[in-house]
Amino acid sequence: MTSRLETVSPGLRPAPLVLPPAFTGLVTAGSPGAAGQACRLAESGEAEAGTLLMEERDDVIALAVVLAPTEPLATARRAFFVGMQALADAVGTFGPPEIPVTFLWPDTLSFNSARLGGGALHWPQGCGEGETPDWLVFSAMLIASKRDAGDPGLTPDSTSLEEEGFPKDLREALVESFARHLTKAFEIWSEDGAARSTGRYLARLALPPGVRATIEPNGDARLVHADGRSESLPLLQALAAPSWRDPSTGRVRL
Protein backbone atom coordinates (compact mmCIF):
# COMPACT_ATOMS: atom_id res chain seq x y z
CA MET A 1 0.00 0.00 0.00
CA THR A 2 1.47 3.30 -1.06
CA SER A 3 0.28 6.85 -1.50
CA ARG A 4 0.11 8.60 -4.86
CA LEU A 5 0.83 11.90 -3.15
CA GLU A 6 4.01 12.92 -4.93
CA THR A 7 3.45 16.46 -3.61
CA VAL A 8 1.45 17.14 -0.51
CA SER A 9 -1.92 18.83 -1.10
CA PRO A 10 -2.67 22.24 0.43
CA GLY A 11 -3.38 21.96 4.15
CA LEU A 12 -1.32 18.78 4.46
CA ARG A 13 2.30 18.05 5.22
CA PRO A 14 4.33 14.87 5.79
CA ALA A 15 3.94 13.53 9.33
CA PRO A 16 7.01 12.86 11.50
CA LEU A 17 5.87 9.32 12.22
CA VAL A 18 7.61 5.94 12.30
CA LEU A 19 5.05 3.74 10.55
CA PRO A 20 4.93 0.22 9.09
CA PRO A 21 6.13 0.14 5.45
CA ALA A 22 2.58 0.05 4.06
CA PHE A 23 1.68 3.48 5.48
CA THR A 24 2.18 7.09 4.44
CA GLY A 25 1.72 9.60 7.26
CA LEU A 26 0.31 13.11 6.81
CA VAL A 27 -0.55 15.94 9.20
CA THR A 28 -3.61 18.12 8.61
CA ALA A 29 -4.69 21.29 10.38
CA GLY A 30 -8.05 23.01 10.30
CA SER A 31 -11.16 22.06 8.32
CA PRO A 32 -12.22 19.49 7.17
CA GLY A 33 -10.13 17.47 9.62
CA ALA A 34 -8.48 14.08 9.22
CA ALA A 35 -11.63 12.18 8.27
CA GLY A 36 -12.77 14.75 5.72
CA GLN A 37 -9.32 15.06 4.17
CA ALA A 38 -8.88 11.29 3.96
CA CYS A 39 -12.24 10.87 2.21
CA ARG A 40 -11.43 13.70 -0.18
CA LEU A 41 -8.05 12.24 -1.07
CA ALA A 42 -9.46 8.74 -1.51
CA GLU A 43 -12.37 9.96 -3.64
CA SER A 44 -10.09 11.97 -5.92
CA GLY A 45 -7.58 9.13 -6.27
CA GLU A 46 -4.79 11.22 -4.72
CA ALA A 47 -4.28 8.72 -1.90
CA GLU A 48 -4.34 4.95 -1.83
CA ALA A 49 -4.73 2.49 1.02
CA GLY A 50 -2.36 3.10 3.88
CA THR A 51 -2.54 6.89 3.75
CA LEU A 52 -2.80 7.84 7.43
CA LEU A 53 -3.74 11.36 8.50
CA MET A 54 -3.61 12.92 11.95
CA GLU A 55 -4.85 16.31 13.07
CA GLU A 56 -2.60 18.95 14.60
CA ARG A 57 -4.60 19.72 17.74
CA ASP A 58 -4.08 19.72 21.50
CA ASP A 59 -7.59 18.95 22.75
CA VAL A 60 -8.08 15.69 20.82
CA ILE A 61 -6.11 13.02 19.03
CA ALA A 62 -7.84 12.58 15.68
CA LEU A 63 -6.77 10.25 12.88
CA ALA A 64 -8.06 8.67 9.69
CA VAL A 65 -6.71 5.92 7.45
CA VAL A 66 -7.62 4.96 3.88
CA LEU A 67 -8.43 1.27 3.36
CA ALA A 68 -8.73 -0.83 0.20
CA PRO A 69 -11.70 -3.21 0.55
CA THR A 70 -11.85 -6.44 -1.45
CA GLU A 71 -15.45 -7.38 -0.62
CA PRO A 72 -18.88 -5.88 -1.33
CA LEU A 73 -19.78 -3.01 0.95
CA ALA A 74 -22.31 -5.12 2.87
CA THR A 75 -19.52 -7.29 4.32
CA ALA A 76 -16.51 -4.98 3.87
CA ARG A 77 -18.11 -2.71 6.46
CA ARG A 78 -16.83 -5.13 9.11
CA ALA A 79 -13.46 -3.42 8.67
CA PHE A 80 -14.90 -0.96 11.19
CA PHE A 81 -14.42 -3.57 13.92
CA VAL A 82 -10.78 -4.02 12.90
CA GLY A 83 -10.21 -0.29 13.23
CA MET A 84 -11.85 -0.23 16.66
CA GLN A 85 -9.65 -3.11 17.82
CA ALA A 86 -6.53 -1.28 16.69
CA LEU A 87 -7.67 1.90 18.43
CA ALA A 88 -8.36 0.07 21.69
CA ASP A 89 -5.07 -1.82 21.52
CA ALA A 90 -3.19 1.45 20.97
CA VAL A 91 -4.91 3.08 23.95
CA GLY A 92 -4.23 0.01 26.08
CA THR A 93 -0.54 0.15 25.20
CA PHE A 94 -0.11 3.46 27.02
CA GLY A 95 -2.80 3.33 29.72
CA PRO A 96 -2.64 1.82 33.20
CA PRO A 97 -2.83 -1.96 32.60
CA GLU A 98 -5.38 -2.59 35.36
CA ILE A 99 -8.00 -0.37 33.69
CA PRO A 100 -9.85 -2.05 30.79
CA VAL A 101 -10.58 -0.45 27.44
CA THR A 102 -14.14 -1.31 26.41
CA PHE A 103 -16.67 -0.58 23.67
CA LEU A 104 -20.26 0.59 23.81
CA TRP A 105 -22.05 -0.65 20.70
CA PRO A 106 -20.83 -0.05 18.21
CA ASP A 107 -18.53 2.94 18.06
CA THR A 108 -17.78 4.39 21.51
CA LEU A 109 -14.48 3.66 23.25
CA SER A 110 -14.63 3.81 27.04
CA PHE A 111 -11.80 3.97 29.53
CA ASN A 112 -12.33 3.66 33.26
CA SER A 113 -16.08 3.43 32.56
CA ALA A 114 -16.16 6.85 30.89
CA ARG A 115 -16.33 7.94 27.26
CA LEU A 116 -12.83 8.61 25.90
CA GLY A 117 -13.61 8.68 22.18
CA GLY A 118 -14.78 6.55 19.31
CA GLY A 119 -14.47 5.50 15.70
CA ALA A 120 -16.34 5.98 12.43
CA LEU A 121 -16.38 4.41 8.98
CA HIS A 122 -16.82 6.25 5.67
CA TRP A 123 -17.40 4.96 2.13
CA PRO A 124 -18.19 6.43 -1.31
CA GLN A 125 -21.60 7.99 -1.71
CA GLY A 126 -23.84 5.96 -3.98
CA CYS A 127 -21.95 2.70 -3.50
CA GLY A 128 -24.45 -0.15 -3.43
CA GLU A 129 -24.41 -2.84 -0.78
CA GLY A 130 -23.48 -5.44 -3.41
CA GLU A 131 -20.68 -3.35 -4.92
CA THR A 132 -17.05 -3.37 -3.81
CA PRO A 133 -16.27 0.21 -2.79
CA ASP A 134 -13.20 1.86 -4.27
CA TRP A 135 -12.15 2.86 -0.75
CA LEU A 136 -13.10 2.93 2.89
CA VAL A 137 -11.86 5.35 5.53
CA PHE A 138 -11.71 4.49 9.22
CA SER A 139 -11.45 7.55 11.44
CA ALA A 140 -11.19 7.96 15.19
CA MET A 141 -11.01 10.65 17.84
CA LEU A 142 -9.93 10.57 21.49
CA ILE A 143 -10.19 13.30 24.11
CA ALA A 144 -6.63 14.36 24.92
CA SER A 145 -7.51 17.07 27.45
CA LYS A 146 -10.62 18.59 29.04
CA ARG A 147 -8.82 21.63 30.44
CA ASP A 148 -11.13 23.97 28.51
CA ALA A 149 -14.32 22.09 29.43
CA GLY A 150 -14.78 23.64 32.86
CA ASP A 151 -15.42 21.78 36.11
CA PRO A 152 -14.89 18.01 35.53
CA GLY A 153 -17.94 17.41 37.70
CA LEU A 154 -20.08 18.89 34.94
CA THR A 155 -18.95 16.25 32.43
CA PRO A 156 -18.79 13.00 34.45
CA ASP A 157 -19.64 10.74 31.51
CA SER A 158 -16.40 11.50 29.66
CA THR A 159 -12.71 11.38 30.48
CA SER A 160 -9.44 12.33 28.84
CA LEU A 161 -5.98 10.90 28.35
CA GLU A 162 -4.67 13.67 30.60
CA GLU A 163 -7.12 12.86 33.42
CA GLU A 164 -6.31 9.16 33.29
CA GLY A 165 -2.57 9.66 33.68
CA PHE A 166 -1.46 8.81 30.14
CA PRO A 167 1.98 10.10 29.08
CA LYS A 168 2.13 13.68 27.84
CA ASP A 169 2.60 14.51 24.15
CA LEU A 170 1.15 11.15 23.16
CA ARG A 171 -0.26 12.01 19.73
CA GLU A 172 2.54 10.73 17.49
CA ALA A 173 3.26 7.64 19.60
CA LEU A 174 -0.40 6.65 19.79
CA VAL A 175 -0.94 7.09 16.05
CA GLU A 176 2.15 4.99 15.35
CA SER A 177 0.86 2.30 17.72
CA PHE A 178 -2.55 2.39 16.01
CA ALA A 179 -0.90 1.72 12.63
CA ARG A 180 1.03 -1.26 13.99
CA HIS A 181 -2.05 -2.73 15.67
CA LEU A 182 -4.15 -2.14 12.54
CA THR A 183 -1.64 -4.10 10.47
CA LYS A 184 -1.76 -6.97 12.95
CA ALA A 185 -5.56 -6.91 13.14
CA PHE A 186 -5.93 -7.20 9.37
CA GLU A 187 -3.41 -10.04 9.36
CA ILE A 188 -5.64 -11.90 11.82
CA TRP A 189 -8.64 -11.30 9.55
CA SER A 190 -6.70 -12.56 6.51
CA GLU A 191 -5.23 -15.63 8.21
CA ASP A 192 -7.99 -16.69 10.62
CA GLY A 193 -11.15 -15.25 9.08
CA ALA A 194 -13.68 -12.59 9.94
CA ALA A 195 -15.20 -14.54 12.84
CA ARG A 196 -11.90 -14.55 14.74
CA SER A 197 -11.43 -10.87 13.98
CA THR A 198 -14.89 -9.77 15.10
CA GLY A 199 -14.54 -12.02 18.14
CA ARG A 200 -11.69 -9.81 19.31
CA TYR A 201 -14.01 -6.81 19.09
CA LEU A 202 -16.74 -8.64 21.01
CA ALA A 203 -14.28 -9.45 23.80
CA ARG A 204 -14.25 -5.71 24.63
CA LEU A 205 -17.96 -5.03 24.05
CA ALA A 206 -19.88 -4.08 27.19
CA LEU A 207 -22.89 -6.38 27.50
CA PRO A 208 -25.52 -6.97 30.18
CA PRO A 209 -24.88 -10.00 32.43
CA GLY A 210 -25.77 -13.29 30.81
CA VAL A 211 -25.91 -11.91 27.26
CA ARG A 212 -23.91 -13.53 24.45
CA ALA A 213 -23.14 -11.74 21.20
CA THR A 214 -22.06 -12.61 17.67
CA ILE A 215 -21.41 -10.45 14.61
CA GLU A 216 -23.38 -11.25 11.45
CA PRO A 217 -21.71 -11.11 7.99
CA ASN A 218 -23.32 -7.70 7.40
CA GLY A 219 -21.86 -6.35 10.65
CA ASP A 220 -25.05 -6.43 12.71
CA ALA A 221 -24.69 -7.75 16.26
CA ARG A 222 -26.90 -10.64 17.32
CA LEU A 223 -27.55 -10.77 21.07
CA VAL A 224 -28.91 -13.83 22.86
CA HIS A 225 -30.23 -13.15 26.34
CA ALA A 226 -30.19 -15.60 29.23
CA ASP A 227 -33.90 -16.32 28.72
CA GLY A 228 -33.28 -17.29 25.07
CA ARG A 229 -34.55 -14.01 23.67
CA SER A 230 -32.73 -12.84 20.52
CA GLU A 231 -32.05 -9.22 19.64
CA SER A 232 -30.40 -7.57 16.62
CA LEU A 233 -28.29 -4.40 16.77
CA PRO A 234 -27.97 -2.95 13.25
CA LEU A 235 -24.56 -1.56 12.31
CA LEU A 236 -25.39 0.54 9.25
CA GLN A 237 -27.83 2.87 11.00
CA ALA A 238 -25.45 3.32 13.93
CA LEU A 239 -22.53 4.27 11.70
CA ALA A 240 -24.65 6.96 10.04
CA ALA A 241 -24.65 9.01 13.27
CA PRO A 242 -21.74 8.15 15.61
CA SER A 243 -23.05 8.07 19.16
CA TRP A 244 -19.85 9.50 20.65
CA ARG A 245 -19.75 12.60 18.45
CA ASP A 246 -21.28 15.92 19.45
CA PRO A 247 -22.98 17.13 16.23
CA SER A 248 -22.63 20.75 17.32
CA THR A 249 -18.83 20.62 17.67
CA GLY A 250 -17.75 17.57 15.66
CA ARG A 251 -15.72 16.49 18.71
CA VAL A 252 -16.24 13.76 21.30
CA ARG A 253 -19.27 14.45 23.49
CA LEU A 254 -18.26 15.68 26.91
Query: What CA–CA distance (Å, rounded) separates 25 from 198?
Result: 27
Can you give the pLDDT at residue 2? 40
Q: What are the residues facing 212 on neighbouring strands? A: 224
The CATH number fitting domain 12-205, selected from 3.10.620.30, 3.40.50.880, 3.50.50.60, 3.30.930.10 = 3.30.930.10
| Domain residue ranges in the chain | 12-205
How does pLDDT run across 176-197, given as a tens digit for each residue?
A: 999 999 999 999 999 998 889 9
> Cβ(213)–Cβ(207) under 8 Å?
yes
How does pLDDT run across 132-185, given as a tens digit for each residue?
A: 999 999 999 999 999 888 777 789 999 999 999 999 999 999 999 999 999 999
Residue 12 contacts by C-beta under 8 Å, 6 or more apart in sequence? Answer: 5, 26, 27, 28, 37, 53
Mean pLDDT of the chain: 93
Can you give the pLDDT at residue 143? 98
How does pLDDT run across 81-98, given as a tens digit for each residue?
A: 999 999 999 999 999 889
Can you give the pLDDT at residue 154? 85
Can you give the pLDDT at residue 4? 46
Residue 89 contacts by C-beta under 8 Å, 6 or more apart in sequence? Answer: 177, 181, 185
pLDDT at 35 over 70: yes
Query: One-letter amino acid identity for 94?
Result: F
Q: Would you place residue 21 in the very low, low, confident or very high pLDDT band (cuts 50, 70, 90)?
A: very high
> Cβ(114)–Cβ(102) under 8 Å?
no
